Structure 1
Amino acid sequence: MIRHTVAFRLVHPAGSAEETGFLTSARELATIPGVERFEQLAQTSAKNDFAFGFSMEFADAAAYDAYNQHPVHVAFVRDRWVPEVADFLELDYVPLD
């Protein structure tokens, strides 16, 4: 299992229609085959500047690779993520057994 997470902040003002539009469009990522347990998260700590997080799981590296190459993901990164995300931190985990 791979847990893919990303913490980020947007270029849009908090509570704006643009912010809502970005988050709404990101839900389409959950429809990509292999994506499990997709979550959108709001940051509650004042210890960093990231406002949001996404978390999802994949059964294995093949499912994760397929997600990264899927046209829906590629389009989202190109059309929404790159122009609308001001800063981010991506972390991918596997369980310690």
Structure 2
Amino acid sequence: MHRHTVLFNLKEDANETQVIERLRELAALPTVVAMVLEENIVPISDNSPYKWCLIGDFNDTDAREAYEKHETHVDIIRTTFLPNISGFIMSDINF
């Protein structure tokens, strides 16, 4: 299995509901085994600076790469995610 994790914050002027709804569409992409997108329940602090957490599971690295190239993913990242975030960090692991 391959796990893709993205922690992020939205800009203050972002339409949070609209951005999160668009990101939730990613769960329907063909190579996604499971996806969770939730607000962090740990208060934001120096040790936990991100409000949102997206975790996507894939069968393998090839499936993750296909997800990255999928036209829906590319569109959501370019038109919704990147213009509306104030910061993010990603991590990928195989397990």
TM-score strictly above 0.5: yes
Unaligned runs of 5+ in 2: none
Q: In structure 2, the residue corresponding to 1:5 is in which secondary structure?
A: strand
Asked if 1 retains the 8 angstrom alpha-carbon contact of 2:26 and 2:73, the reply is: yes
- Residue matched to 2:32: 35
What is the deviation of 1:31? 1.0
Unaligned runs of 5+ in 1: none
- Residue matched to 1:22: 19
Count of aligned residue pairs for this structure pair = 92
User: RMSD over aligned Cα, in angstroms?
Assistant: 1.4
What is the deviation of 1:49? 1.9
TM-score, normalised via structure 2 length: 0.89
Question: For 1:4 and 1:70, how far apart are their aligned partners in 2?
Answer: 15
Question: For 1:31 and 1:41, how far apart are their aligned partners in 2?
Answer: 16
User: What does 1:1-97 align with in structure 2 at a 5 Å threshold?
Assistant: 1-12=1-12, 18-45=15-42, 46=45, 47-95=47-95
TM-score, normalised via structure 1 length: 0.88
Identity %: 29
